[in-house]
Structure 1
Amino acid sequence: MSWIDHIPDAARAYLEVKRLDEVECVLADLPGIARGKAVPAAKWEKQTSFHLPNSIFFQTITGDWSEAAEDGFTEPDMVLKPDLSTAAAAPWAVDGTLQVIHDAFDQKGRPIGCAPRNVLRRVVDLYRAEGWEPVVAPEMEFYLVGRNVDPAKPVAPMTGRTGRPAAARQAYSMTAVDEYGPVIDDIYEWSEIAGFEIDGIAQEGGAGQLEINMRHGDPIKLADEIFFFKRLIREAALKHDCFATFMAKPIEGEPGSAMHVHHSVTDKTGRNLFTGPAGGETDAFFHFIGGLQEHLPSVIAVIAPYVNSYRRYVRDHAAPINLEWGRDNRTTGLRVPVAPPEARRIENRLAGMDCNPYLCIAASLACGYLGLKNEIWPDKRFRGDAYEAEDEIPQGLYAALDLFDANAAMHEVLGPDFARVYSVVKRTEYNEFLQVISPWEREHLLLNV
């Protein structure tokens, strides 16, 4: 059978109107950047794998190298094998182009432990070994901003069709969405061509800030789509002379961008484990919340992976500062949305949109898994404004990494090799940041201290 028989319907439909010229063989590194090779279609059809050095997982966001290699920096090749179920069009390309996500193995056929997609698959497999099926529904927040070609200058909102900069505090405004309608039109069109299903797009509270809701489903499939989506949205923005940014806090004084993740767990028959026979909440429901409360502090370094991420956790500024849980309460870190019993779910509101989607979903599911396995009970439900509660978020990346390093149980779920590599890379990255002198330091310290 041809490889075309194994790709999604949307990819086949794309090839019916486009002659395939090139295949992009990609995988996500630790920050979630697409790494790989572009291969002529004729050559790609003849190969079953290709190679990249394992050092791509040892790089910081700046492209510098960490000391994460265990046996010296020899950069041995990994074997990358295509997952044809991920084949998706790259609609912005001039010539017919497919993107295909590849899985990473060593030369003995073992999964590379620090590869983000493998980390998520490891967690999903732990659920399935218990007869459970994890289900997620992510929400993506991002900003459309003016072209920022000088990093020394602040980021500014994009200019809309009226010729005025996008305005803040216009949450859910359809007029605000219409301001950048051409970008959104391309996002919708390209998503349809690529086979990605969007549940809706809404204006958020920041100037030029949008939210895309995605339908619930398999964690790996949803993480793949977010990985693809980030690139698609960036390309749509560039077509219309603006930037799309997924920074957690790109504009001073504006709300940060989150990746809220809704969770539920079903059994093999599809029954929601969070709901009992009479429609009530089960022990499993409370244990999942308990696991999130117990273990989320140790994975904040994964779901808030940069120094900028911690600028989002501001009291009374549309982001949680605690691990409280509440019903239909957007001030708590953990929210139980209004839903019928069969759709009962738990929303983790702590993750920033700057996260790697594979690692964020893996870490959040890992917390819930440990709660289910160890029957952890949560604190009492929080009522009222949770911004009045105590701060429970680590104050910065370095403190978050200390908590991550100390949680041995979490390392076993996510994988010891990943835990080791991640800590080394992020600490290297933090030390790089300390070498940069900020405008604040020059303004307030240069002549005053």
Structure 2
Amino acid sequence: MAKRKKGTKGIEGDVRGVKSLDEARDWLKARGIEDIECVVPDQAGVARGKMMPVQKFLAGPTMSMPGSILTQTITGDYPDDDDRFESDAADQDVMFEPDLSTLCVVPWEADPTAQVIHDGYHRDGRSVETAPRQVLRRIVELYAHQGWRPVVAPELEFYLVKPNTDPDYQLEPPTGRSGRPEAARQSYSIAAINEFDDLFDDIYDFSEQQGLEIDTLIHEEGAAQMEINLLHGDPLALADQVFLFKRTIREAALRHDMYATFMAKPMSREPGSAMHIHQSVIDVETGKNIFSDADGDPTSKFFAFIGGSQKYLPAVLCMLAPYVNSYRRLVRSSSAPVNTQWGYDNRTVGLRVPNSNPAGRRLENRLPSSDANPYLAIAASLACGYLGLVEGLKVGDPVSGSANSNEIDLPRGLLEAVALFEEQEELAEIFGERFVATYGAIKRAEYETFMQVISPWEREFLLLNV
């Protein structure tokens, strides 16, 4: 059910990434690039940074910005500081260095423009512990110390909606080429995808120019709800791709007078949007999947990975479901999971083992929502599996029937999830006290701003009845 991409355009050779500043100079010159977006993913996965002329970038690619950009909430506010935070009272600058392997064009800009993702460092060379990209890199390094290499493949769901400039109005599906909005569920419908052919042509074109690889594109359950599946690979590289894909899809949608939203639950009567994460682990020395033995059977390490996911995923749910809206998706008798039960080819559990050959044996984490920061969601998911591996955890029997009508075994709201995250000592040791404290403070500050808004439900049922 994949929509095929168009032929290659533009300059021959690599469209993404270089190894040195000299190579970057040649790459930029060959494409006539005039400006560079120097991008930093913040805690929400929002692109922060600076735009600068190519000459300035090449003269000194390191840029400085206030460390507080990594403590900013989704509303643009800042939580109350304390001595555990990465920032300080003076809000000193943090140095951001480009990862030149992420260099690529910005295809929707009118003038020739490139973008490159940056990593944060203190002036003494230490990594910024709270920077999401560094958080994921630290988890990957834990695997490397054991002689392992994790592999992931994200699946990203999103909705297309009519432009909505007033947040008091509910969202509606857009009209496609037929001139009519969707009125029924259209799972896996090719005709429903074809309604937005011009938009998807732009998405494929923009992705191709950035070196982003789409595996498949399908229509999901909801009205104008789509899913893009990415090829499996290195966790940091795939997190970068999700980060860039979100920007790409939003920009392409705007060209066609639509919004693309990655809210977990944008419409009350439609399914939520997820970011499922497929995970496997490779033995670096042998190149083999440690989840399968020589006979092709699942190994004790595979079950330990599942055990760690079952034990620790509830405690990292605040990174997989990072907003108050995220918990509207995790409800019983829906397409979303409500617990950490596991099963073979069972889409009602939180942890699904897809059908595969032994080399491709993997675990699909179905808990994350599409609003999650991809760096933090992948880091959290891999951290849970890692703890299961090093602790040698066991699992119970797989679930063969429906599991999402059972009791909800996950935190029911953001504050409960944050409290559980802060209480888990094993996770604090992995993620670091500064990150745990900073992330928790950001989420509490966001919750406080949410509590300042009166909902339609309150006006409907409380205004004249209490």
Tell me whether the two structures share a fold, i.e. TM-score over 0.5. Answer: yes
Task: Check whether the contact 1:168–1:205 (CA below 8 A) recurs between aligned residues.
Answer: no
Q: What's the offset of the Cα at 1:114?
A: 0.5
Q: Residue type matched to 2:224 in 1?
A: G
2-side partners of 1:208 and 1:7: how far apart? 42
Partner in structure 1 of residue 219 of structure 2: 203
Q: What's the offset of the Cα at 1:353?
A: 0.3
Q: What's the offset of the Cα at 1:75?
A: 0.8
Say yes or no: does 1:28 pair with 2:24.
no
Q: What's the offset of the Cα at 1:14?
A: 8.1
In structure 2, the CA distance between the partners of 1:246 and 1:7, relative to structure 1 (3 Å rule), is: farther
Partner in structure 1 of residue 387 of structure 2: 370
Partner in structure 2 of residue 105 of structure 1: 121
Partner in structure 2 of residue 255 of structure 1: 271
Q: SS of the counterpart of 1:227?
A: helix
Partner in structure 2 of residue 332 of structure 1: 349
Q: Residue type matched to 2:78 in 1?
A: W
Q: What's the offset of the Cα at 1:73?
A: 2.8
Task: Check whether the contact 1:247–1:354 (CA below 8 A) recurs between aligned residues.
Answer: yes
Partner in structure 2 of residue 61 of structure 1: 74
Deviation track 1:62-106 (CA, whole Å, cap 9, x = no partner) reads: 001112353753111000000000011110001111110000001
1:305 aligns with one of 308, 317, 322: 322
1:50 aligns with one of 63, 66, 90: 63
2-side partners of 1:174 and 1:17: how far apart? 39
Q: What's the offset of the Cα at 1:168?
A: 3.9
Q: SS of the counterpart of 2:275?
A: coil
Query: Gapped runs of 5+ residues in structure 1?
Result: none
2-side partners of 1:100 and 1:81: how far apart? 10
In structure 2, the CA distance between the partners of 1:124 and 1:64, relative to structure 1 (3 Å rule), is: same
Q: Residue type matched to 1:444 in 2?
A: F
Task: Check whether the contact 1:166–1:179 (CA below 8 A) recurs between aligned residues.
Answer: no
Say yes or no: does 1:447 pair with 2:447.
no
Q: What's the offset of the Cα at 1:16?
A: 7.3
2-side partners of 1:436 and 1:28: how far apart? 27
In structure 2, the CA distance between the partners of 1:59 and 1:303, relative to structure 1 (3 Å rule), is: same
2-side partners of 1:346 and 1:447: how far apart? 50
How many residues align structurally?
Answer: 446
What TM-score, normalized to structure 1? 0.96
Partner in structure 1 of residue 364 of structure 2: 347
Q: Residue type matched to 1:334 in 2?
A: L
Q: Residue type matched to 1:31 in 2?
A: A
Task: Check whether the contact 2:35–2:53 (CA below 8 A) recurs between aligned residues.
Answer: yes
In structure 2, the CA distance between the partners of 1:69 and 1:41, relative to structure 1 (3 Å rule), is: farther
What TM-score, normalized to structure 2? 0.93
Partner in structure 2 of residue 283 of structure 1: 300
Say yes or no: does 1:116 pair with 2:132.
yes
In structure 2, the CA distance between the partners of 1:315 and 1:96, relative to structure 1 (3 Å rule), is: same
Task: Check whether the contact 1:334–1:347 (CA below 8 A) recurs between aligned residues.
Answer: yes
Q: How does 1:10-409 map to 2 (within 5 A)?
A: 18-68=31-81, 70=83, 72-268=88-284, 269-409=286-426
2-side partners of 1:13 and 1:295: how far apart? 47
1-side partners of 2:138 and 2:88: how far apart? 26
2-side partners of 1:198 and 1:441: how far apart? 43
2-side partners of 1:167 and 1:364: how far apart? 36
Task: Check whether the contact 2:333–2:405 (CA below 8 A) recurs between aligned residues.
Answer: no
Task: Check whether the contact 1:15–1:96 (CA below 8 A) recurs between aligned residues.
Answer: no
Q: Residue type matched to 1:101 in 2?
A: I
Q: SS of the counterpart of 1:244?
A: strand
Q: Residue type matched to 2:235 in 1?
A: P
Task: Check whether the contact 1:137–1:214 (CA below 8 A) recurs between aligned residues.
Answer: yes
2-side partners of 1:80 and 1:360: how far apart? 22
2-side partners of 1:172 and 1:26: how far apart? 35
Q: SS of the counterpart of 2:123?
A: coil
In structure 2, the CA distance between the partners of 1:73 and 1:167, relative to structure 1 (3 Å rule), is: farther
Q: SS of the counterpart of 1:387?
A: coil
2-side partners of 1:371 and 1:52: how far apart? 38
Q: Residue type matched to 2:45 in 1?
A: G
Q: SS of the counterpart of 1:302?
A: helix
Q: SS of the counterpart of 1:45?
A: helix
Q: What's the offset of the Cα at 1:165?
A: 1.0
Task: Check whether the contact 2:18–2:103 (CA below 8 A) recurs between aligned residues.
Answer: no
In structure 2, the CA distance between the partners of 1:242 and 1:347, relative to structure 1 (3 Å rule), is: same
2-side partners of 1:5 and 1:251: how far apart? 42
2-side partners of 1:166 and 1:370: how far apart? 44
Task: Check whether the contact 1:167–1:208 (CA below 8 A) recurs between aligned residues.
Answer: no
Deviation track 1:130-174 (CA, whole Å, cap 9, x = no partner) reads: 100000000000001000110010011111111111344100000
1-side partners of 2:223 and 2:118: how far apart? 36
Say yes or no: does 1:435 pair with 2:452.
yes
Q: What's the offset of the Cα at 1:392?
A: 1.0
2-side partners of 1:13 and 1:135: how far apart? 32
1-side partners of 2:432 and 2:182: how far apart? 43
The alignment's C-alpha RMSD in Å is 1.8
Deviation track 1:181-219 (CA, whole Å, cap 9, x = no partner) reads: 111110101101100110010000000100000000000
Task: Check whether the contact 2:17–2:103 (CA below 8 A) recurs between aligned residues.
Answer: no
Q: SS of the counterpart of 1:431?
A: helix
Q: SS of the counterpart of 1:382?
A: coil
Query: Gapped runs of 5+ residues in structure 2?
Result: 1-15
Q: Residue type matched to 1:49 in 2?
A: T
